[in-house]
């Protein structure tokens, strides 16, 4: 659906419900205060959205009292525009704290929290979130000497795992954009076309969106391992041209108002080697089997086991997890850092969860990758995109 404002997309009631669910878990753990530094969690709790996470910032949830947001003074305006927080609840640290020797923004933030009566009791902090650092943590602890600090253990991330219907709508919108983005990539990569030009087409398609609905930036840059490089994931691009007789892994996706639909396919220029097309068929069989396992009540590891059964039967192995929960994302990751589809993860799948199932096979000198993003419904996995699940061959 169209949405052209910078104001929070969701209703006031929805944000209130999110905070209520967070406080419910806080109370169960005996936390008096939660300090959330992950930009995705901050966005989830308040709607805050800006490229300001290169300086320290946080959303603070007390068990009782107003939710606060602390950021650099120049980003206070952005917080007023993109959240419904009261002006008194947005704290801006002075610019002299930014990337300065001998002081840290969280010296100031911690002092503010203590001054507002939050300096006592148990304070849970997201100690493994992106953009939180050991130095930031030390500053916070020093500024709140009477508080007892503990690790939040991704408390907010776990609350995010089950989406509202309104969130699922945005993920479906992201899926519609992701289909166009992938089709653009498949139509653009040809012998002689430079990798950077394919990326230009992909990035433009991500931003343009579909049917009047623009796209947001995704948490990952498009990754295009090609030729020898396809033997390893996470390589971006060069300005070398694509070459006939080589495979390219396209790992990309789309975002709508920070909600993501990741998507991967592999393309081969010219007739593919038998080993690659055979692998693609096995992987497809494994993908179908794993997706067919998805239903509320199933455990993450059971989904992976269905995949593993297929590839083992065909003599293949894969060490890494085959998926993870998704939703809101900011660079550098669109995963929620909660559930992984892998042995030992006994988390139970529930309705309105969402996952990216990604099957990357990196062999000696070559690779193959395909993925589907899906929502869990009462009937099973409902994929966000509907492209063929085969190796894409360009004759």
Measured from the CB atom, the residue of 1 and 16 that comes closer to a copy of itself is: 1
Q: Is 193 in the site for a copy of itself (CB under 8 A)?
A: no
Measured from the CB atom, the residue of 153 and 292 that comes closer to a copy of itself is: 153
Q: Is 74 in the site for a copy of itself (CB under 8 A)?
A: yes
Cβ 233 to a copy of itself, closest distance in Å? Answer: 6
Q: Is 298 in the site for a copy of itself (CB under 8 A)?
A: no
Task: Among 85, 136, 283, 370, indicate the residue that binds a copy of itself (CB under 8 A).
Answer: 136
Q: Is 210 in the site for a copy of itself (CB under 8 A)?
A: no
Helices (H), the chain: 12-29, 39-46, 76-82, 105-113, 134-143, 155-160, 165-188, 195-208, 274-293, 300-313
Cβ 52 to a copy of itself, closest distance in Å? Answer: 5
Strand 33-36 to strand 121-125: parallel, antiparallel, or no bridges (unpaired)? parallel
* Strands of 90-93's sheet in order across: 90-93, 68-72, 58-62, 33-36, 121-125, 147-151
Measured from the CB atom, the residue of 315 and 365 that comes closer to a copy of itself is: 365
What is the chain's percent helix, strand, coil content, to nearest 5? 40, 25, 35
Cβ 177 to a copy of itself, closest distance in Å? Answer: 10
50 φ, ψ (degrees, to nearest 5): -170, 155
Per-residue binder mask for a copy of itself (CB under 8 A), 76-95, x = binder: xxx-xxx-----------xx
- Answer yes or no: are the C-beta atoms of 251 and 199 closer than 8 Å: no
Q: Is 99 in the site for a copy of itself (CB under 8 A)?
A: yes
> Dihedral (C-alpha) 98, 47, 384, 356: value to the nearest 10 degrees?
40
DSSP 320: S
Q: Could you give the CA distance from residue 209 to residue 318 in angstroms, rounded to a whole number?
A: 34
Alpha carbon 202 to its chain's center: 19
Cβ 385 to a copy of itself, closest distance in Å? Answer: 20
Task: Among 53, 93, 307, 366, indicate the residue that binds a copy of itself (CB under 8 A).
Answer: 53
Task: Among 44, 93, 108, 131, indicate the residue that binds a copy of itself (CB under 8 A).
Answer: 131
Quick check: helix, strand or coil at residue 313? helix
- Taken in order 275, 281, 282, 284, the sign of the CA dihedral is positive
Measured from the CB atom, the residue of 16 and 100 that comes closer to a copy of itself is: 100
Measured from the CB atom, the residue of 19 and 259 that comes closer to a copy of itself is: 259
Task: Among 235, 289, 298, 393, indicate the residue that binds a copy of itself (CB under 8 A).
Answer: 235
Residue with tokens 């052209």, as numbered in its chain: 4
**Stretch near a copy of itself under the rule CB under 8 A, chosen from 46-54, 115-123, 168-176, 182-190:** 46-54
| Cβ-based burial of 317 (10 A; exposed 0-12, middle 13-18, buried ≥19) | exposed
Quick check: helix, strand or coil at residue 357? strand
- Answer yes or no: are the C-beta atoms of 347 and 294 closer than 8 Å: no
Q: Is 335 in the site for a copy of itself (CB under 8 A)?
A: yes
Q: Is 332 in the site for a copy of itself (CB under 8 A)?
A: yes
Cβ 70 to a copy of itself, closest distance in Å? Answer: 15
Q: Is 194 in the site for a copy of itself (CB under 8 A)?
A: yes
355-384 residues near a copy of itself, rule: CB under 8 A: 360, 362
Task: Among 20, 29, 120, 135, indicate the residue that binds a copy of itself (CB under 8 A).
Answer: 135
């Amino acid at each position: 659906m169209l949405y052209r404002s910078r104001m929070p997309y969701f209703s006031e009631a929805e944000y209130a419900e999110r905070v209520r669910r967070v406080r419910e878990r806080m109370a169960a753990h005996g936390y008096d205060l939660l300090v959330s530094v992950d930009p995705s969690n901050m966005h989830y709790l308040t709607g805050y959205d800006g490229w300001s996470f290169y300086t320290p910032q946080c959303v603070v949830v007390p068990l009782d009292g107003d939710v606060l947001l602390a950021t650099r003074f120049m980003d206070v305006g952005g917080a007023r525009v993109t959240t419904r927080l009261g002006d008194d609840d947005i704290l801006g640290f002075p610019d002299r704290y930014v990337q300065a020797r001998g002081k840290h923004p969280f010296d100031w933030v911690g002092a503010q929290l203590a001054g507002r009566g939050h300096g006592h009791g148990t304070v849970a902090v997201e100690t493994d979130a992106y953009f939180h650092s050991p130095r930031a943590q030390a500053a916070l602890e020093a500024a709140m000497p009477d508080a007892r600090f503990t690790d939040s253990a991704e408390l907010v991330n776990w609350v995010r795992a089950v989406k509202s219907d309104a969130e699922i709508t945005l993920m479906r919108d992201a899926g519609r954009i992701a289909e166009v983005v992938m089709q653009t990539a498949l139509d653009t990569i040809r012998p002689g076309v430079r990798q950077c030009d394919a990326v230009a087409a992909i990035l433009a398609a991500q931003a343009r969106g579909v049917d009047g609905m623009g796209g947001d930036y995704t948490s990952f840059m498009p990754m295009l391992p090609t030729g020898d490089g396809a033997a390893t994931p996470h390589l971006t691009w060069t300005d070398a041209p694509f070459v006939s007789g080589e495979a390219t892994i396209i790992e990309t996706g789309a975002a709508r108002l920070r909600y993501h639909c990741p998507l991967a396919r592999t393309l081969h220029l010219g007739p593919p080697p038998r080993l690659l097309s055979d692998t693609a068929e096995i992987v497809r069989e494994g993908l179908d089997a794993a997706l067919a396992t998805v239903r509320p009540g199933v455990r993450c590891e059971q989904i992976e086991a269905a995949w593993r059964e297929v590839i083992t039967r065909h003599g293949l192995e894969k060490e890494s997890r085959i998926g993870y929960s998704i939703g809101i994302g900011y660079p550098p990751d669109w995963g929620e850092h909660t559930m992984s589809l892998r042995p030992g993860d006994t988390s139970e799948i529930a309705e309105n969860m969402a996952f990216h199932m990604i099957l990357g096979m990196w062999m000696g000198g070559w690779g193959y990758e395909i993925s589907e993003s899906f929502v869990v419904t009462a009937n099973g996995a409902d994929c966000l995109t509907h492209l063929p699940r085969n190796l894409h061959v360009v004759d």
